[in-house]
Amino acid sequence: MTEILIVALAIFGYSLVSERLANSPITSPMVFTAIGLAVGSAGFGWFDLEIGNESTSILVEATLVLVLFTDAIRIDLRVLRREAVLPGRLLAIGLPLSILAGTLVGVAILDGFTVLHAALLAAVLAPTDAALGQAVVSDPRLPVRVRQTLNVESGLNDGIAVPVVTVLLSIAVADQGSDAGDWVGLAARQIGFGLLAGVGVGVIGGWLLDQRSAAGAIEGVYRQLATVAIAAGAFGLAGLLDGNGFIAAFTAGLAFGRVARSHCDGIQDFTEDEGELLAAITFIVFGAVLAGTVIDELDWRIALYAIASLTIVRIVPSVIALIGSGTLFETRLFFGWFGPRGLATILFALVVIEELESAAGEMIFTVATWTVLFSIVAHGVSARPWAGRLARRIENEVEPMAEMEPATAFPTRRS
């Protein structure tokens, strides 16, 4: 009961000053993580949950399922096909290069890390979370194309990273002594059945919902609840088939958005509040349960890797990916910097420490947790100042540039 009271008071208290904080460098993830640290094992010890606790896992999993599904449905792939140059470069070139760079840095910095463990850590840290830089993707001073490039990238890269993490984790667990053939088969089933469940549930559910809604047979609120049920159904079916539920949730969102696009605006409005609530609780739990356990384990290697992950490992690949794109060099640096780590990395780190019972698994968890902590502060504080600076720079340019080309404003995670 104490935990419920703490969460309720934290969310209520933040809501009373939320409008003022919305225009400041202090973001909601910063506040809720700080509250978690204060009440958790690193502080007063009032939050009595542990890593591996079923309640913790359910909360984080439910949050990521909702995030993956709604991220997928808010990106209209038919529209994106015409405007995919910049986010496509970041996803197709920048993301693989970031994983490669993170692998090389991990082998160089972290003692005893094999190439496999370093690659797994890099994949865990590959997804970005635009919610941590919400001030950027929603800042009207920036051209729509700049905002939507980061919005689209963050909406798709967490889903793309899921199978990469799944395969690498399967190999790492097999490397501990399990039969390699069993884990190769498991990885194939996780990806294959995850995709199958997601596409099947997304297409069938979206088509039925569209048909029955057009016939006037569905009450308004249940149209929205049915859409959330599709995300949960894809996750559950994938689990029954021995597939990966997160891959299923993401692909279900893509499939649903393809066959029932007219319903996506309504579900986006509906899930915005629910997603924000789950994210707030997750960051409190992150501070109290996850970060609290590693707060004393920071050393120069962990700090160096975390800083490198947020800077050169992300920025250099992004700049390389955008060579020849017609964008300003500062814009490329801006895209590279605003790759904050958040909910997806938190969940991946939990999965790794539960599945990979070794010193390497603990190190991956510790480094990922500290990277998210650094990211929450660094990206929250820098979002508005750099967005304003870049907006002024672009406005003062007289030559045509890619940043100013027309672009469709897709919904963000928060209006």
The torsion defined by the Cα of 78, 198, 68 and 96, in degrees rounded to 10, comes to -80
Closest CA to 343 of 28, 79, 75: 28
Residue 219's pLDDT band (cuts 50, 70, 90)? confident
Helices (H) and strands (E) in the chain, counts: 20, 0
Residue 188's pLDDT band (cuts 50, 70, 90)? confident
Percent of the chain at pLDDT above 90?
35
The pLDDT of residue 308: 97
CA of residue 124 relative to chain centroid, distance:
10
Instruction: Report the distance separating Cα 107 and Cα 103, nearest Å.
Output: 6
Q: Return the DSSP state at 130.
A: G
What are the residues whose beta carbons fall under 8 Å from the beta carbon of 408, sequence distance 6 or more? 76, 79, 80, 83, 144, 148
The pLDDT of residue 281: 87
Report which of residues 186 and 290 the model is more confident about.
290
Residue 177 backbone class (left: φ over 0; alpha: ψ -120 to 50; beta: rest): left
The average pLDDT across 54-65 equals 78
The pLDDT of residue 277: 82
| pLDDT tens sequence across 317-345 | 999 999 998 899 999 999 999 988 988 89
Report which of residues 303 and 79 the model is more confident about.
303
Instruction: Report the distance separating Cα 119 and Cα 358, nearest Å.
Output: 16
Report which of residues 240 and 68 the model is more confident about.
240
Using alpha carbons, list the distances in angstroms from residue 264 to 127, 167, 211, 227, 232. Answer: 23, 31, 15, 9, 16
- In this structure, the number of other CB atoms found within 10 A of the CB of residue 405 comes to 14
The average pLDDT across 85-103 equals 94
User: Is the confidence at residue 398, as pLDDT, over 80?
Assistant: no
Q: Return the DSSP state at 262.
A: G
Decide: residue 229, CB within 10 A, 0-12 exposed, 13-18 middle, 19+ buried: middle
What are the residues whose beta carbons fall under 8 Å from the beta carbon of 165, sequence distance 6 or more? 120, 123, 124, 348, 351, 352
The pLDDT of residue 413: 58
Mark out the alpha helices in 176-244 (DSSP H runs): 180-214, 220-240
The average pLDDT across 182-206 equals 85
Average pLDDT, the chain: 85
User: Is the confidence at residue 189, as pLDDT, over 60?
Assistant: yes
User: Is the confidence at residue 226, as pLDDT, over 60?
Assistant: yes
User: Is the confidence at residue 62, as pLDDT, over 90?
Assistant: no
CA of residue 132 relative to chain centroid, distance:
10
Hunting for tokens 């993707």 — which residue is that? Answer: 137
Instruction: Report the distance separating Cα 87 and Cα 151, nearest Å.
Output: 9
Closest CA to 139 of 15, 30, 22, 275: 22
Residue 216's pLDDT band (cuts 50, 70, 90)? confident
Domains of the chain: 2-7+27-395 (1.20.1530.20)
Residue 10's pLDDT band (cuts 50, 70, 90)? very high
| pLDDT tens sequence across 117-126 | 999 999 999 9
- In this structure, the number of other CB atoms found within 10 A of the CB of residue 409 comes to 10
CA of residue 325 relative to chain centroid, distance:
25
34-43, 222-231, 252-261, 405-414: segment of lowest average pLDDT? 405-414
The pLDDT of residue 174: 76
| Token digits of residue 214 | 């057009």
CA of residue 167 relative to chain centroid, distance:
18
User: Is the confidence at residue 69, as pLDDT, over 60?
Assistant: yes
Q: Return the DSSP state at 326.
A: -
CA of residue 415 relative to chain centroid, distance:
17
Cut 0.85: pTM above it: yes
The pLDDT of residue 310: 95
| pLDDT tens sequence across 359-368 | 888 999 999 9
Most confident of 74-78, 182-186, 365-369: 365-369
User: Is the confidence at residue 148, as pLDDT, over 90?
Assistant: no
The pLDDT of residue 14: 93
The average pLDDT across 185-211 equals 88
Closest CA to 105 of 88, 89, 117: 117
- Cβ–Cβ < 8 Å for 129, 28: no
The pLDDT of residue 52: 65
Report which of residues 129 and 265 the model is more confident about.
129
